[in-house]
Amino acid sequence: MARYFWAVGHIRRVYGRLTAALLSVVLLLLAPGVGANEQAPPLNVVASFSILADMVKHVGGQHIALSTIVGPDSDAHTFEPSPRQVKALASAQVLVVNGLNFETWLAGMLQSAQFKGEQVVASAGIVARKLNQPELDHGHDHDHDHGDIDPHAWQSLGNGVIYVQNIAAGLAQADPAHAADYYANASHYIARIQALDQDIKTAIALIPPQRRKVITSHDAFAYFAQAYGIQFISAAGAASQAEPSAKDVAAIIDRVRQEHIAAVFIENVSSAKLVSQIARETGAKVGGTLYSDALAQPGQPAATYLGMMRWNADQLIAALN
């Protein structure tokens, strides 16, 4: 009987130690900052304009908190930062910009915000196109805000791949813990970009080359032209608010008539007045709205980068067929 009571006591002592050990493990797992479900706060990222923001969103996924300086249907050419936007930039860990002197307002904003984070230039490594002054100007005086470099490189999906690669590398550098996720997201996104790129090339190749001419508001589609073989003739210049003279408008109207240009297009960030006048005086049809420097509002077909590129291509193909 004594041996029985000794055995029972020994089991209780061992069980007590095991219970205490298990309790310690549970408390350790529940401690702040240690638990398996505990997550680091998302990376605070700011994108300079809506097209970049969509790319950043696809690459960053759940690991970032994203805000945009110049939003959908907003013109980066005439943008002026608000105090709220300057404050948001001041607390950002990463800023993603286009570069190529597209964000002409950025230097002053960076200074006001005293930005201390990392800056990612999405266009780094692309073959930049120089603005073709004789083709753009036709002798009139435009305000080329961007200097002699065309900043609209995202209008080629091939360049879009480079943008995404740069964004992934920038986020991975700022947040190494999630680098594998950033690169995996970028790889999946790039596959979709490349598929759309091939679809557009195949569709436009079916249009006779002599028909591939359109009029647009300002010179934002030269990279699209190089990639897909459509000639864009800008009614104004590289700046969305440029105003050609009456003589220049007359020269464009004559060109539309002589070359039998089938369609003119309005842009979402430019006035429709000039393009409508050209259409009215030449009989060319208005082919609809193209998205150049900004996405459409959420819920619209052109509210994403891929949606915008698909929409633009569809509008052009429909007008030229």
| Each residue's pLDDT tens digit, 217-245 | 778 999 999 999 999 987 764 344 456 67
The mean per-residue pLDDT over the stretch 179-193 comes to 98
pLDDT score recorded for residue 25:
39
Average pLDDT value for residue range 295-299: 96
Convert the pLDDT of each residue in 148-177 to its tens digit.
899 999 999 999 999 999 999 999 999 999
Is the residue at 154 inside a domain? Answer: yes
Bridging pattern class, strands 149-150 and 263-267: unpaired
What mean pLDDT value characterizes the chain?
Answer: 83
pLDDT band for 184, please (50, 70, 90 cuts): very high
Instruction: Identify whether 66 is part of a domain.
Output: yes
pLDDT, residue 270, reads 62
How far, CA to CA in Å, does 63 sit from each of 28, 47, 170? Answer: 25, 15, 13
Q: CA-CA distance, 207 to 268, in Å (whole number)?
A: 25
Same domain, 222 and 180: no
CA angle 258, 156, 213 (to 5 degrees): 10
Same domain, 67 and 183: yes
pTM higher than 0.85: no
Do residues 22 and 127 share a domain? no
162 and 274 in a single domain? The answer is no
Could you tell me the pLDDT band of residue 255, with boundaries at 50, 70 and 90?
confident
The parent domain of residue 18 ranges over 1-38
Give the domain-ending residue among 134, 161, 195.
195
Asked whether residue 23 falls in the same domain as residue 60, the answer is: no
83-90 vs 106-113: helix crossing angle, rounded to 10: 70
Residue 256: the pLDDT is 82
Query: Do residues 28 and 146 both lie within one domain?
Result: no
- Do 221 and 276 fall into the same domain? yes
> Which of 11-20, 238-247, 284-293, 312-321 has the weakest average pLDDT?
11-20
3-state helix, strand, coil in the chain (%, to 5): 50, 15, 35
CATH number for 166? 3.40.50.1980
Per-residue model confidence (pLDDT) at position 239: 42
Q: Can you tell me the distance from the alpha carbon of 193 to that of 161, in angstroms, rounded to the nearest whole number?
A: 7
Task: Look at residue 2 and tell me if it is in a domain.
Answer: yes
Residues 222, 237 share a domain: yes
- Ordered alpha helix ranges (H), 31-156: 50-60, 83-90, 106-113, 133-137
pLDDT for res 242 = 52
Domain count within the chain: 3
Does any domain span residue 1? yes
29 has a pLDDT exceeding 50: no
- Same-domain pairing of 21 and 56: no
Residue 241 pLDDT: 46
Q: Please indicate, yes or no, whether residues 49 and 173 belong to a single structural domain of this protein.
A: yes
The answer to whether residue 201 sits within a structural domain is no
Q: Tell me: pLDDT of 16 over 60.
A: no
Token pair listed for 314: 């569809």
The number of CA neighbours under 13 Å toward the Cβ of 227 is 25
Q: Give a yes or no: residue 200 inside a domain.
A: no
With cut-offs at 50, 70 and 90, classify the pLDDT of residue 147.
Answer: low
Q: Which residues contact 32 (CB under 8 A, 6 or more apart)?
A: 38
Q: Please tell me whether residues 24 and 100 are part of one structural domain.
A: no
**Residue 221 within a domain:** yes
What confidence tens digit (pLDDT) does each residue in 198-210 have? 999 999 999 999 9
Where among 160, 195, 230 does a domain terminate?
195
Q: What pLDDT is stored for residue 259 in this prediction? A: 81
Q: Which whole number is the average pLDDT over 86-111?
A: 96
d(CA 129, CA 76) in angstroms, rounded, equals 19
Residue 35's pLDDT is what? 45
